[in-house]
Amino acid sequence: MNTKDIFNIFLEKYNNREFRTIGNNVQQSITLEIQNAHFEVDKPWIVREPNYGYYKREEKWYYSQSLNVNDIPEGAPKMWQACATPDGFINSNYGWCIFSKENGDQYKNCKQHLIEDPHTREAIMIYNRPSMQQEYNKNGMHDFMCCQNVQYFINEYDEYNDILDCIVNFRSNDAVFGFNNDALWANHILEKLANELRPIWNNKYDKNIAAGHIYWNAGSLHIYERHFKILTDFNTKQNVYKYYEDIEKQNNLFRKTQESINNG
């Protein structure tokens, strides 16, 4: 199962009018939803290609570890503003989640587990926390963190090469905008971790190590009604699969995409 397969499931649900209404009696919205979605991330988009310029700004904000959306370079998108307190504070700066001491030095500890034991099942970066049950709506915000955790495994590719794979677990994931930025971030961290492990692997095991696969799990992967037009446009094409492949040809695959972003 890959991103194209997931898109086709959404398209089938749309054509069959398998909608899900969410919200309360005051405010409701219609979505398409795949529960318990799981697939390999072969490229960083499902429905529409990412805004790479915005992603790079968000990545810079993540590294700042700021918990205020007003610190996002060139301004916060409406999505972030809607989640934040009136002063701009949120929970979900993913850089803060894995790099900060306040959240337990997740990146540092995960890396150390991998160094100490290449076969470990304890190399995990925990993004969310039990106190989110009370903190998601403090001071007027509404930001119940979507990413739960990411687990990393080292697997042997051949006698001389290992690969670093990861499993990403999300509570909830918007398939149009949210997934794109989340997938780019997951790939960036996977590449970063593999690059930092490589000299250790060269010296300790006389082997190379490189970033491998990203496997994605989402309790709810969804498309909001405001984006249904994208699916309608697909239906106007005589051959949906050819249209999808034509768009795909305009993009580099996942690794090349990240490389071009990093090179500016």
* Segment 32-79, tens digit of pLDDT: 999 999 999 999 999 999 999 999 999 999 999 999 999 999 999 999
Mean pLDDT for the stretch of residues 250-255: 59
Instruction: Give the per-residue pLDDT at 29.
Output: 87
**Tokens coding 125:** 């970066």
Catalytic site positions: 146
Q: Which residue has the tokens 């989402």?
A: 218
Segment 136-194, tens digit of pLDDT: 999 999 999 999 999 999 999 999 999 999 999 999 999 999 999 999 999 999 999 99
Query: Which residues are CB-neighbours of 184 under 8 A, at least 6 positions away?
Result: 44, 50, 52, 55, 59, 257, 258, 261
Q: Could you tell me the strand order of the sheet in which 20-23 lies? A: 20-23, 28-40, 208-224, 161-174, 147-158, 124-126
CB 56 within 8 A of CB 201: no
Domains of the chain: 3-51+98-262 (3.30.572.10)
Its pTM stands at: 0.89
Which residue(s) pair with 40 in the sheet? Answer: 2, 215
User: How many helices and strands, by DSSP H and E, does the chain display?
Assistant: 10, 6
Tokens 């194209």 found at? 4
From CA 176, how far away is CA 36, in angstroms rounded? 17
- Nearest Cα to Cα of residue 70 among 87, 53, 93: 87
8-44 pLDDT per residue, tens: 999 999 999 999 998 766 567 899 999 999 999 999 9
**φ, ψ dihedrals at 24, nearest 5°:** -125, -170
Helix or strand or coil: residue 22? strand
pLDDT of 241 strictly over 60? no
| Strand pairing report for 147-158 and 124-126 | antiparallel
Beta bridge partners of 39: 216
| Whole-number pLDDT of residue 99 | 98
